[in-house]
């Protein structure tokens, strides 16, 4: 109004301006408050939806694992039914063969009796027929006893080995579910990254990265060598670490190998506990970490603390290095996928347990075939 009427004084202009401001404030106060409330609700809605989107992949992974475990159970039932059918067929074949053998033995006995009657009428030397019959009977009875003893010892050894195999995997249902989860995660995430890593990185770069991380693990090897009282191996691993860390450009070059210091198979705290007499315990599959025994799983925190990356202050650098190490390790296992056959779970379980036993015994494999029953075959 005062713009249209310039004759008004300053006081009247201020009063009109204040009135207009109060009117505008009262008019827009409520809608502005409503808009702020709507913004807050929208933010909360988006946050909840974002959290649900983060949880959704894990739900899909667990659903895929459950479906895979159900499929594996159905396959196991089918294989069990097929084995039962094959066993029944074999049993029927064995019964038929035994009946035919009994008939043949009866015919042979009849023929032998007829031959004995004809031969008894002919003049023979004294004692020769009796000696030959005794030798034949002795050889047959001895062979039967040896066969029975061998079969009994083989059956007992097979049953003991089967029982030991069962006790190694007491948590098979849980392990198969976790194995399916890890394989699904590997199929959709780790394996594609490993394939891309092998295609992008040249072979010298891959070799240097592997040498670098293996050189960092030498510190863990030295600590466990000392705890296991392996002083010669501790000296070898210490020399490798010092030489590769200096002359080998922080471990990218394996100079120690050419200097007469070969790389060992590696030591960890789980092997140290086994050397101290702690049993390995049953086989268990850990999510994201793969196959382990109970003792090796208990020793994992000590292995993490003894790794140099644990003490890197910049966590992004530490996590990136750990991820690169896992990626390189997965790329080295791509060639081993062609060797797997049959049930993948059983194949990986047996391979891991054999490798674990090999590492604990330092490569000494005990062959106990026929142990304790050798006296039965001494003749």
What pLDDT, on the 0 to 100 scale, is given for residue 167?
45
What pLDDT, on the 0 to 100 scale, is given for residue 363?
78
Question: Following CA atoms 46, 50, 56, 57 in sequence, which dihedral angle do they give, to the nearest 10 degrees?
Answer: 150
Q: Tell me if 13 is assigned to some domain.
A: no
Q: Tell me if 318 is assigned to some domain.
A: yes
What pLDDT, on the 0 to 100 scale, is given for residue 166?
42
Token pair in block for residue 16? 């009109």
* Residue-number span of the structural domain to which 339 is assigned: 167-360
Are 194 and 225 within 8 A, CB to CB?
A: no
> Tens digit of pLDDT for each residue in 103-159?
666 556 555 554 454 444 444 434 444 444 545 554 555 455 545 554 554 454 444
From the list 212, 240, 225, 220, the residue with the least C-alpha distance to 306 is 220
Task: Lowest mean pLDDT of 58-62, 354-358, 364-368, name the range.
Answer: 58-62
Q: Tell me if 222 is assigned to some domain.
A: yes
From the list 303, 67, 319, the residue with the least C-alpha distance to 180 is 67
Q: Is the pLDDT of residue 8 over 60?
A: no
**Cα end-to-end span (Å), the chain:** 131
Strands 290-293 and 283-286: antiparallel
**CA 353 to CA 161: how far, in whole Å?**
14
From the list 215, 363, 352, 256, the residue with the least C-alpha distance to 296 is 352
The answer for 371, left when phi > 0, alpha when psi is -120 to 50, beta otherwise, is beta
Task: Lowest mean pLDDT of 25-34, 186-195, 345-354, name the range.
Answer: 25-34
From the list 293, 67, 330, 295, the residue with the least C-alpha distance to 181 is 67
What pLDDT, on the 0 to 100 scale, is given for residue 92?
66
Token pair in block for residue 91? 């049993």
Which helix or strand (DSSP H or E) is residue 176 part of?
Answer: helix 172-185
How many beta carbons lie within 10 A of that of residue 41, not counting itself? Answer: 10
Q: Is the pLDDT of residue 96 over 70?
A: no
Are 272 and 233 within 8 A, CB to CB?
A: no
Q: Tell me if 347 is assigned to some domain.
A: yes
Token pair in block for residue 244? 């590769």
- Beta strands in 168-312, from DSSP E residues, in sequence order: 283-286, 290-293
Q: Tell me if 141 is assigned to some domain.
A: no
Q: Tell me if 302 is assigned to some domain.
A: yes
The pTM (predicted TM-score) of the whole model is 0.57
What pLDDT, on the 0 to 100 scale, is given for residue 168?
80
Task: Lowest mean pLDDT of 111-120, 219-228, 266-275, 278-287, name the range.
Answer: 111-120
Q: Is the pLDDT of residue 338 over 90?
A: no
- State how many domains the chain has: 1
What pLDDT, on the 0 to 100 scale, is given for residue 85?
73
Backbone angles phi, psi at 287, to 5 degrees: -60, 135
Are 218 and 240 within 8 A, CB to CB?
A: yes
Q: What is the mean pLDDT of the chain?
A: 74
**CA 302 to CA 267: how far, in whole Å?**
12
What average pLDDT does the segment 76-91 reach?
A: 69
Question: Following CA atoms 184, 165, 78, 178 in sequence, which dihedral angle do they give, to the nearest 10 degrees?
Answer: -20
Q: Is the pLDDT of residue 273 over 90?
A: yes
């Amino acid at each position: 109004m005062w713009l249209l009427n310039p004759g008004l004084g300053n006081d009247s202009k201020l009063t009109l301006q204040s009135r207009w401001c109060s009117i505008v404030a009262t008019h827009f106060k409520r809608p502005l408050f409503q808009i702020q409330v709507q913004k807050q609700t929208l933010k909360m809605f988006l946050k909840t939806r974002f959290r649900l989107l983060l949880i959704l992949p894990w739900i899909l992974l667990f659903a895929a694992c459950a479906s895979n475990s159900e499929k594996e159970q159905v396959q196991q039932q089918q294989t069990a039914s097929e084995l039962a059918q094959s066993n029944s067929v074999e049993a029927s074949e064995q019964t038929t063969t035994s009946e035919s053998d009994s008939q043949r033995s009866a015919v042979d006995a009849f023929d032998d009796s007829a031959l004995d009657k004809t031969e008894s009428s002919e003049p023979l030397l004294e004692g020769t027929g009796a000696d030959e019959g005794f030798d034949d009977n002795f050889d047959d009875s001895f062979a039967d006893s040896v066969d029975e003893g061998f079969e009994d010892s083989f059956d007992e050894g097979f049953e003991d080995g089967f029982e030991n195999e069962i006790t190694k995997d007491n948590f098979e249902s849980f392990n198969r579910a976790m194995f399916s989860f890890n394989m699904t995660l590997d199929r959709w995430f780790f394996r594609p990254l490993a394939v891309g890593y092998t295609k992008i990185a040249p072979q010298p770069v891959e070799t240097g990265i592997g040498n670098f991380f293996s050189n960092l693990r030498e510190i863990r090897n030295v600590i466990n060598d000392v705890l296991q009282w392996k002083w010669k191996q501790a000296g070898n691993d210490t020399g490798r670490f010092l030489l590769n860390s200096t002359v080998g450009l922080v471990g990218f070059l394996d100079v120690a190998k050419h200097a007469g210091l070969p790389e060992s198979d590696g030591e960890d705290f789980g092997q140290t506990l086994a050397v101290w007499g702690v049993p390995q315990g049953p086989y268990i599959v850990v999510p994201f970490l793969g196959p382990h025994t109970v003792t090796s799983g208990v020793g994992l925190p000590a292995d993490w603390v003894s790794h140099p990356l644990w003490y890197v202050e910049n966590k992004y650098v530490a996590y990136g290095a750990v991820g690169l190490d896992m990626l390189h390790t997965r790329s080295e296992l791509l060639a081993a996928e062609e060797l797997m056959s049959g049930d993948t779970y059983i194949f990986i379980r047996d391979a891991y347990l054999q490798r674990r036993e090999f590492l604990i015994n330092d490569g000494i494999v005990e062959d106990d075939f026929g142990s304790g029953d050798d006296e039965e075959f001494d003749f």
